[in-house]
Amino acid sequence: MYHTPVLLSEALHYLLHDGSRLILDATVGSGGHAKAILDARGNVTVIGIDRDAMALEVAAERLKEYSGRVFFFMGAYTELDSALGSRGNVDGVLVDHGMSSLQLEDSHRGFSYSGEGPLDMRMSGTGQTASDLIESTDMAGLACVLERYGEVARPRRIARSIKNASQKHMMRTTADLKAAVENAFGRRVSPGLLSRIFQAFRIAVNRELELLQEFLGSILRYVNRNGRLVFISYHSLEDRMIKEFLRRESAECICPPGTPVCVCGRRPALELLTKKAIKTANEEIARNPRARSARLRAARVI
């Protein structure tokens, strides 16, 4: 089974326009959005980036019938020069954050508490694993990860239990992490709390927010005029960063508040296409509960 693409018709609606020729799917995953883009427009070429080799393998197999219209790049979506090569600027960019259900359901990847596997969580398969990160981070740092990325209450209590287990070399598997959380409370804990704790370590291991910040800082250089940007995010911090980027780049005036007449001469780079984030409709959530927290924001390059 493939990952089910989230907010699919909404994403296509904002992403494609009459001049769309080259689209960057910056998080191609198993290619659900990319396939719909290729089906919707016979004259569009898609460049699909993913840092996960397994995701790219699945996408390449799934999209082989579109050969010549779809190209893949394995790496982080911040590697735009290498990913786009000599193809030039794009007419649309889709970023569908987070992880795919293929990653979540593969217990060898360590993203989920529901199957036992190594405490890995690396999307790219390189760099430090979640187990390494826990070992090399002190208790206060772990509490910070839990609070910031997992919005977890009582982060220090959980961090202490995780650190204790790690110091006894008992933090190697997803079951070890789950057990350490349960030990912190002396009882079983809710699936919601476990999900947020696993999410927190996934975000830290993959430096997801740092890469998003870097991407937002450079993406406008790679998009043609009238090009579209579509972001789907699943975490409040991600959504806040995207919202702030769109607000800043679409602002008509950046004079300090109280300046009587505008003197900044600012020309906005973006026009907002979504005034508020678009949320998943109830029918989609009923079909795909993982879409529940999705937020879509879109803009047009002026």
Ligand X SMILES: C[S@@+](CC[C@H](N)C(=O)[O-])C[C@H]1O[C@@H](n2cnc3c(N)ncnc32)[C@H](O)[C@@H]1O
Residues that bind ligand X (CB under 6 A): 3, 5, 27, 29-33, 49-52, 55, 76-77, 96, 98-100, 123, 211
Closest CB to ligand X among 37 and 143?
37
Closest CB to ligand X among 211 and 220?
211
Residue with the CB atom nearest ligand X in the bound state: 29
Q: What's the closest the beta carbon of residue 52 comes to ligand X, in angstroms?
A: 4
Q: What's the closest the beta carbon of residue 141 comes to ligand X, in angstroms?
A: 22
Q: What's the closest the beta carbon of residue 255 comes to ligand X, in angstroms?
A: 35
Closest CB to ligand X among 121 and 159?
121
Closest CB to ligand X among 20 and 100?
100
**What is the SS3 assignment for the chain?**
CCCCCCCHHHHHHHHCCCCCCEEEECCCCCCHHHHHHHHHCCCCEEEEEECCHHHHHHHHHHCHHHCCCEEEEECCCCCHHHHHHHHCCEEEEEEECCCCHHHHHCHHHCCCCCCCCECCCCCCCCCCCHHHHHHHCCHHHHHHHHHHHHCCCCHHHHHHHHHHHHHCCCCCEHHHHHHHHHHHHCCCCCHHHHHHHHHHHHHHHCCHHHHHHHHHHHHHHHEEEEEEEEEEECCHHHHHHHHHHHHHHHCCCCCCCCCCCCCCCCCCCEEECCCCCEECCHHHHHHCHHHCCCEEEEEEEC
Closest CB to ligand X among 144 and 211?
211
Q: What's the closest the beta carbon of residue 123 comes to ligand X, in angstroms?
A: 4
Q: What's the closest the beta carbon of residue 151 comes to ligand X, in angstroms?
A: 20
